[in-house]
Amino acid sequence: MTIGVQSNDINEHFNKLFSSILLEQQKFDHIKPADESKKEVLNEKLKEYESLKGRGFFYPFMATGRGHGPFVELLDGSVKFDLINAIGVNLLGHSHPIYIKANLEAATSDTMMCGNLLSYQEPYELSKVLLNAVKKSRLKHFWFSCSGSFSNDTALKILWQKKAPNYRLIAFQKSFAGRSIAMQDVTYNQAYREGMPKSIQVDHVPHYNYKNSENAIQETIAALDKLIETNGNTYCALTIELIQGEAGFIYGTKEYYKAIFEWAKKHGIYIWVDEVQSFTRTTEMFAYQMFDLDEYVDVVTIGKVLQAAGTFYTEELNPKAGLIAGTFNGSIASLNAGKATVRYLKEGNFYGEKGRIKELETKFKAKFKALSEGSCKGKIPYYGGIGTMLSFEVGDGSVDVTNKFMKKLFENGIISFSAGKEPTRVRFLLPLPLLDSHIDEIFSIVEKTVLETIN
Ligand SMILES: Cc1ncc(COP(=O)(O)O)c(C=O)c1O
> Is 90:82 a contact under the CB 8 Å cutoff?
yes
d(CA 443, CA 376) in angstroms, rounded, equals 11
**H/E/C letters for each residue in 313-365?**
EEHHHCCCCCCCCCCEEEEHHHHHHHHHHHHHHHHCCCCCCCCHHHHHHHHHH
> Is 34:76 a contact under the CB 8 Å cutoff?
yes
Cβ(182) – ligand 1 distance below 6 Å:
no
- 240 phi and psi, to 5 degrees? -145, 140
Per residue in 68-82, pLDDT (tens digit) is: 999 999 999 999 999
- 23 phi and psi, to 5 degrees? -60, -40
Cis peptide before 165 (omega within 30 of 0): yes
Cβ(149) – ligand 1 distance below 6 Å:
yes
> Is 242:386 a contact under the CB 8 Å cutoff?
no
| Ligand 1 atom 13 nearest Cα | 178
Q: How many domains does the chain have?
A: 3
pLDDT number for residue 55: 95
Q: Above 70 in pLDDT, residue 335?
A: yes
Per residue in 203-217, pLDDT (tens digit) is: 999 999 999 999 999
* pLDDT, the chain, mean: 97
pLDDT number for residue 51: 98
What's the CA-to-centroid distance between 149 and ligand 1, angstroms? 6
Q: How far apart are the first and last CA of the chain?
A: 59
Cβ(330) – ligand 1 distance below 6 Å:
no
| Ligand 1 atom 7 nearest Cα | 148
pLDDT number for residue 161: 98
What's the CA-to-centroid distance between 87 and ligand 1, angstroms? 9
Count CB neighbours of 113 within 10 A.
15
Per residue in 213-240, pLDDT (tens digit) is: 999 999 999 999 999 999 999 999 999 9
Cβ(148) – ligand 1 distance below 6 Å:
yes
Q: What is the dihedral of CA 347, 353, 354, 358, to 10 degrees?
A: 90
What's the CA-to-centroid distance between 400 and ligand 1, angstroms? 25
What's the CA-to-centroid distance between 152 and ligand 1, angstroms? 9
Q: Which ligand 1 atom lies nearest to the CA of residue 277?
A: 16
Per-residue confidence at 244, pLDDT binned at 50, 70, 90?
very high
Per residue in 264-277, pLDDT (tens digit) is: 999 999 999 999 99
Check whether residue 254 and residue 377 sit in a common domain: no
Last residue of a domain, one of 38, 62, 82: 82
What's the CA-to-centroid distance between 115 and ligand 1, angstroms? 22
**Rounded average pLDDT over 354-370:** 98
Check whether residue 328 and residue 367 sit in a common domain: no
What's the CA-to-centroid distance between 178 and ligand 1, angstroms? 5
Check whether residue 315 and residue 356 sit in a common domain: no
Q: Above 90 in pLDDT, residue 3?
A: no
Per residue in 111-133, pLDDT (tens digit) is: 999 999 999 999 999 999 999 99
Cβ(22) – ligand 1 distance below 6 Å:
no
Spell out the residues 6+ positions from residue 441 whose beta carbon is closer than 8 angstroms to its own: 31, 81
Ligand 1 binding pocket mutation candidate from 90, 277, 427 (most atoms within 8 A of CB): 277
Burial class (CB in 10 A: 0-12, 13-18, 19+), 318: middle
Check whether residue 72 and residue 125 sit in a common domain: no
What's the CA-to-centroid distance between 147 and ligand 1, angstroms? 8
Check whether residue 245 and residue 265 sit in a common domain: yes
Cβ(241) – ligand 1 distance below 6 Å:
yes
Cβ(274) – ligand 1 distance below 6 Å:
yes
Q: Residue 378 belongs to what domain range? A: 352-399+406-431+447-455
CA nearest to 224, candidates 251, 205, 244: 205
pLDDT number for residue 422: 84
Q: How many CA atoms lie within 13 A of 172 on its CB side?
A: 30
d(CA 207, CA 241) in angstroms, rounded, equals 9
Check whether residue 210 and residue 338 sit in a common domain: yes
State the DSSP string of 204-272. Answer: EE----GGGGGGHHHHHHHHHHHHHHHH-S-EEEEEE-SEETTTTSEE--HHHHHHHHHHHHHTT-EEE
> Is 407:75 a contact under the CB 8 Å cutoff?
no
Cβ(413) – ligand 1 distance below 6 Å:
no
Distance of CA 362 to the CA centre of its chain: 20
Question: Would you say how long the chain is, in residues?
Answer: 455
pLDDT number for residue 455: 84
pLDDT number for residue 193: 95
| Ligand 1 atom 5 nearest Cα | 178
In the chain, the percentage of residues whose pLDDT exceeds 70 is 100
Burial class (CB in 10 A: 0-12, 13-18, 19+), 206: middle
Check whether residue 119 and residue 200 sit in a common domain: yes
d(CA 270, CA 291) in angstroms, rounded, equals 18
Check whether residue 333 and residue 381 sit in a common domain: no
pLDDT number for residue 37: 95
Q: Residue 440: inside a domain, yes or no? A: no
Helix, strand, or coil (residue 8): helix
Contacts by 9-13, CB closer than 8 A, 24 or more apart = 10/108
Q: Residue 63: inside a domain, yes or no? A: yes
Cβ(245) – ligand 1 distance below 6 Å:
yes
Q: Residue 314: inside a domain, yes or no? A: yes
| Ligand 1 atom 6 nearest Cα | 178
Cβ(277) – ligand 1 distance below 6 Å:
yes
Q: Residue 289: inside a domain, yes or no? A: yes
Q: Residue 92: inside a domain, yes or no? A: no
Ligand 1 binding pocket mutation candidate from 154, 189, 276 (most atoms within 8 A of CB): 276
What's the CA-to-centroid distance between 277 and ligand 1, angstroms? 6
Cβ(252) – ligand 1 distance below 6 Å:
no
Q: Which ligand 1 atom lies nearest to the CA of residue 178?
A: 6
> Is 279:303 a contact under the CB 8 Å cutoff?
yes
What's the CA-to-centroid distance between 314 and ligand 1, angstroms? 22
Per residue in 84-103, pLDDT (tens digit) is: 999 999 999 999 999 999 99
Check whether residue 224 and residue 330 sit in a common domain: yes
Check whether residue 169 and residue 46 sit in a common domain: no
State the DSSP string of 13-57. Answer: HHHHHHHHHHHHHTT--S-BPPPGGGHHHHHHHHHHHHHHHTS--
Q: Which ligand 1 atom lies nearest to the CA of residue 309?
A: 10
- The CATH number that applies at residue 427 is 3.90.1150.10
Q: Above 80 in pLDDT, residue 361?
A: yes
**Rounded average pLDDT over 425-445:** 98
> Is 99:89 a contact under the CB 8 Å cutoff?
no
Q: How many CA atoms lie within 13 A of 236 on its CB side?
A: 21
Q: Above 90 in pLDDT, residue 316?
A: yes
